[in-house]
């Protein structure tokens, strides 16, 4: 028998604000998801962590409908049980300009800092590629990693399951 490996399962969501359904239908699904998440975290303390898809706009959209949940949400984020940021909206490097990518990161950090801690995960769950400046943006944002889920060829997913990338140094 081979060497035992350890697997980590991270509870999270992948939430498209608007994609194959109109915003309003996705919004209803978000409210149901967040209501269930908050109830689960309250009733089951062993349910320790949830990663909120790397975007802070989810909080805005949820509290628009459930403002009475702000205190509970604040507490879970401050306790580190719900991880938020670093983006404002779900990042897709090729659908927006470079400037929009930078602003997305800046606004996400500003929003997350209001709640306490910014998640320092370069999170790209559904991107169709990464821009050449992605490593530079990550480093300038204090992030030394990236997790992404599309476009990885099967041969890359063998041991070790890591890739190294770099971009030109930034100019001050």
Q: Which residues are catalytic?
A: 126
Q: How many CA atoms does the CB half-sphere of 3 hold within 13 Å? A: 4
Q: Which two tokens stand for residue 167?
A: 């971009």
- The burial of 88, by beta-carbon neighbours within 10 Å (0-12 exposed, 13-18 middle, 19 or more buried), is given as buried
Task: Determine the distance from the C-alpha atom of residue 9 to the mean position of all C-alpha atoms in its chain, rounded to a whole number.
Answer: 15
Distances (CA, A) of 13 to 54, 60, 141: 9, 16, 23
Reduced 3-state DSSP string for 65-126 = HCHHHHHHHHHHHHCCCEECCCECCCCCCCCCCHHHHHHHHHHHHHHHHHHCCCCCCCEECC
Q: Which two tokens stand for residue 162?
A: 């890591």
Q: Which two tokens stand for residue 152?
A: 């990885």
């Amino acid at each position: 028998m081979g060497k035992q490996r350890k697997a980590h399962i991270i509870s999270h969501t992948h939430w498209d604000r608007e994609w194959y359904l109109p915003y309003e239908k996705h919004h209803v699904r978000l409210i149901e998801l967040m209501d269930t998440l908050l109830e689960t975290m309250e009733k089951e303390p062993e349910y320790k962590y949830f990663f909120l898809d790397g975007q802070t706009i989810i909080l805005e959209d949820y509290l628009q409908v459930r403002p009475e949940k702000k205190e509970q949400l604040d507490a879970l984020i401050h306790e580190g049980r719900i991880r938020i940021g670093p983006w404002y909206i779900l990042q897709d490097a090729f659908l927006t300009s470079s400037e929009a990518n930078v602003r997305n990161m800046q606004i996400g950090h500003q929003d997350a800092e209001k709640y306490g801690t910014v998640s320092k995960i370069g999170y790209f769950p559904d991107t169709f590629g990464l821009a050449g400046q992605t490593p530079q943006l990550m480093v300038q944002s204090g992030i030394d990693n990236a997790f992404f889920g599309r476009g990885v060829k099967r041969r890359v997913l063998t041991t070790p399951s890591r890739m190294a990338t770099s971009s030109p140094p930034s100019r001050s």
